[in-house]
Amino acid sequence: QRSRSTMEDSTGRPTKKTVAVVGGGLVGALNACFFAKRGFKVEVFETREDIRQAEVVKGRSINLALSHRGRQALNKVGIEDKIVSKGIPMNSRMIHSLSGTQSQIPYGKKGQFILSVDRANLNKELLTEAETYPNTNLNFDHKLQDWSAETGQMTFARSDGSTEQIKADLIVGCDGAFSALRKQFLRRSLFNYSQTYIPHGYMELTIPPINGEFAMKPNHLHIWPRNTFMMIALPNLDKTFTCTLFMPFEDFEKITTGDEVIDFFQKYFPDAIPLIGVDALKNDYFRLPGQAMVSIKCSPYHIGDKCVLMGDAAHAVVPFYGQGMNAGFEDCIVFGEIMDQLNEDFSAVLPEYSRVRVPDVHAIADLAMYNYIEMRAHVNSKWFLFRKHVDNLLHFLMPKTIVPLYTMVTFTRTRYHEAMDRWHWQDKREGGVGRISRGMQEAGSQAGGIRHSQVHWTL
């Protein structure tokens, strides 16, 4: 066992206080840059080996959708352009009907888009950026065993059986949805915690290039909505698409042979079979079982002036609003803004961070749950498509008064809970438009369109 002090930077000069970032994933690596830029001595501790040298990167691999909040955080540490240059713009949802026809639903105004980025590559870039700061040290193969909220003392175990102790002025927990750091929060009174597993799992498949080019139009997020389940596909720089099938676990379990896989896809995703390939589909479907998705809420995010949770450790959300990473990155911005306001006084900063951030990330957790229903079911509704056009028209005519919820969440830094409140307010304001629209819909229904009972009133 060994311990070390971290009160000097690599040049031997005294530094500000020591910050220990537990977790070297996306939010942890970005946080290291934020704290190092402020002059703190930063120690990052990651359980895994250095993914930049690993032959196989362990962990989740669902493609990420980088949007405004995340880009702003990257901009704060000067690497937005580098990351954006390695992403693929997605201007709209491309809806694949059962018959194989495709239709677009733009994400926002012309020029607004989200970016498909590779999780592993982004993580590598962030770790490399963190290492450029002389006051940052990356420690891999360090698994948190124990820590003290009173003293800031931590004990880490290594794969060779050794342990290491380190003391920090601030511990920042960025160690994911199943955070080891958060376990101590659970032992304390007045700490609220809940976790919800949704009954759907996910499975990843791949659409390879055709003759060296994308097999589908690349600048879209492709969606096959099928009411109780759906498949999406995001483009990659190597001209592949990563497909993710979201489906109830009981439906995954019903399919036990390769022929049953093909029968299932022939029934629900026929246009995807030649894109993925029959043999690949039969093999890849059984490579891994459906993976679980969890939504976690807790509060407060801090203990005293010694520890704070960020990213999935504080607020794991299901992936259906594309805001998990963006919300985690925005945590870094919000914490920095509060640090500026309160002169980096941790005893004041940490409780203020909890007060400000909790309602926002609870709101995006709820919106992510809601958006799953929208993505797998409502986008098939003619009423939904009509309402989207109405919203966009009203936003064009009254840009400061009517702003679509998706626009507020994805293309601004409007606080999440304020976006939700404004969404409800706008929905009431648009009641007159809704009544006119409903009348038009009912008239169309009588003329052979969809029945009113099939229509979802939703944004």
DSSP string over 184-216: HHHTSTT-EEEEEE-SEEEEEEEE--BTTB-SS
Sheet architecture: strand order including 114-117 = 64-66, 114-117, 88-90
The share of the chain scoring above pLDDT 70, in percent, equals: 82
Q: What is the mean pLDDT of the chain?
A: 86
Tell me how crowded residue 145 is: count the other CB atoms within 10 A of its CB. 13
Q: What average pLDDT does the segment 78-82 reach?
A: 97
Q: Which residue in this structure is represented by tokens 């915690």?
A: 193
Domain extent listing, the chain: 2-63+119-195+295-369, 71-117+199-292, 381-454
Distance CA 33, CA 130 (A): 5
Q: Chain-centre distance of CA 245, in angstroms? A: 17
Name residues whose C-beta falls within 8 Å of residue 41's C-beta, 6 or more positions apart in sequence: 6, 7, 8, 9, 15, 16, 17, 18, 19, 135
- Which secondary structure element, helix H or strand E, spans residue 436, and what is its range? helix 431-446
pLDDT for 453: 27
444 pLDDT band, cuts 50/70/90, is very low
What is the fold of 2-63+119-195+295-369?
FAD/NAD(P)-binding domain (3.50.50)
pLDDT for 429: 64
Q: Report residue 448: phi and psi, to 5°.
A: 110, 10
Residue 435: pLDDT over 50: no
Can you read off the two tokens belonging to residue 144? Answer: 């948190």
Tell me how crowded residue 99 is: count the other CB atoms within 10 A of its CB. 7
Tell me how crowded residue 155 is: count the other CB atoms within 10 A of its CB. 16
Residue 99: pLDDT over 50: yes
Is the CB of residue 154 less than 8 Å from the CB of residue 171? yes
**From 7-21, 38-52, 54-68, 266-280, the region with the lowest mean pLDDT:** 7-21
- Which secondary structure element, helix H or strand E, spans residue 415, and what is its range? none
441 pLDDT band, cuts 50/70/90, is very low
- Residue 440 amino acid letter: M
**From 111-115, 267-271, 348-352, 368-372, the region with the lowest mean pLDDT:** 368-372
pLDDT digits (tens, 9 = 90+) for 188-203: 999 999 999 999 999 9
Per-residue DSSP letter, 18: E
Give the dihedral sign, CA 258/260/261/263: positive
Distance CA 61, CA 53 (A): 17
Q: What average pLDDT does the segment 50-59 reach?
A: 79
Q: Report residue 6: phi and psi, to 5°.
A: -130, 40
Q: Do 71-117+199-292 and 2-63+119-195+295-369 fall under one CATH topology? A: yes
pLDDT for 76: 97
CATH class of domain segment(s) 71-117+199-292? alpha beta
Residue 380: pLDDT over 90: no
Tell me how crowded residue 197 is: count the other CB atoms within 10 A of its CB. 12
Is the CB of residue 95 less than 8 Å from the CB of residue 379? yes
Confidence (pTM): 0.86
Beta strand segments in 259-415, E: 294-299, 302-303, 307-309
300 upstream amide cis, omega within 30 of 0: yes
How does strand 170-173 pair with strand 18-22?
parallel
pLDDT digits (tens, 9 = 90+) for 158-214: 999 999 999 999 999 999 999 999 999 999 999 999 999 999 999 999 999 999 999
| Residues present in the chain in total | 459
